[in-house]
Amino acid sequence: MAKLSLFERRRRRVRTALRARSGGRPRLSVHRSGKHIYAQIIDDAAGRTLAAASTLGGKGSNVDAAAKVGSDIAAAAKQAGVTTVVFDRGGFLFHGRVKALADAAREGGLEF
């Protein structure tokens, strides 16, 4: 087996821990690229996305833009009837844009 990058090792560790304690709740998955940040709420049991939000179409991706995505995903989750989720940061550290998105989603009414 090929050696995994630190990012991939973190990602697998986080996802494994989430599966163990998710309790059937949907997963709030975050992806951060150099230009944008994406969030989606995924029902792993059904294998479908319930809600999604991103900075695409907006201008840039900084902490403020990530916070807007967090509030957008919380609003979309409410519309889809989702109130509690498990937060999947993937291999990204809980810092900066990822933290801003999570804090805004909590303020928007999501529980995790």
pLDDT at 82 over 90: yes
pLDDT tens string 84-96 = 999 999 999 999 9
Instruction: Please tell me the distance from the alpha carbon of residue 11 to that of residue 57, in angstroms, as a whole number.
Output: 27
pLDDT tens string 1-18 = 689 999 999 999 999 999
Q: Locate tokens 């889809």: which residue?
A: 80
Instruction: Please tell me the distance from the alpha carbon of residue 44 to that of residue 87, in angstroms, as a whole number.
Output: 13
| CATH 3.30.420.100 fits domain 6-107 | yes
Tell me what pLDDT residue 31 has. 97
pLDDT tens string 16-43 = 999 999 999 999 999 999 999 999 999 9
Enumerate the domain spans of the chain: 6-107
